[in-house]
């Protein structure tokens, strides 16, 4: 198998795997935050801020995969 063929297969699959993992992480984080907000609406603002920070950290992992996919996709001819 040529390098560009391998890349053409690996890049979308790798990005999908990264997206899958961070989707699971995000769903857990957001569902927990929503539950907490429903239980204690008076601290919803604080929970939301913390949730956004956490989501940013989780989502950053997919973004790293996305950036590396973009950097490598130039090598496919």
Partner 1 sequence: MAEARAHWIFVGIALLAWLICPTLAWASGGEGEEHPELPNLIHLLYKALGGAEGHAPGWINTLYHFQDVFFALLVTGVIILIVRLGTRNPTLIPGPAQNVVELFIERFHSFICGILGPKEGRRYVPFLGTLFLYIWWMNLFGLIPLMKSPTAVLSTTAALACCVFLFVQFTGMRRLGVLGYIHHLAGSPQDVVGWALVPLMLPLHIIGEIAKPVSLSLRLFGNILGEDVLLGVFAGLGVAILAFTKLPVGVPLHVPFILLALLMSTVQALVFTLLSTIYIMQMLPHEHEERAASR
What's the closest the beta carbon of residue 63 comes to partner 1, in angstroms? 4
Name which of residues 38 to 77 contact partner 1 (CB under 8 A). 45-46, 49, 52-53, 56, 59-60, 63-64, 66-67, 70, 74
Q: Which residues contact 29 (CB under 8 A, 6 or more apart)?
A: 51, 54, 55, 58
- Measuring CA to CA, how many Å separate 30 from each of 6, 25, 26, 35, 37? 36, 9, 6, 8, 10
Q: By CB under 8 A, tell whether 28 contacts partner 1.
A: no
Kindly list the residues in this chain that would bind partner 1 in the complex (CB under 8 A): 45-46, 49, 52-53, 56, 59-60, 63-64, 66-67, 70, 74
């Amino acid at each position: 198998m040529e390098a560009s063929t391998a890349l053409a297969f690996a890049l979308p699959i790798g990005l999908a795997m990264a997206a899958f993992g961070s989707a699971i992480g995000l769903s857990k984080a957001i569902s927990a935050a929503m539950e907490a907000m429903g239980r204690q609406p008076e601290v919803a603002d604080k929970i939301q801020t913390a949730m956004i920070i956490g989501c940013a950290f989780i989502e950053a992992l997919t973004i790293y995969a996305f950036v590396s996919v973009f950097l490598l996709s130039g090598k496919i001819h």
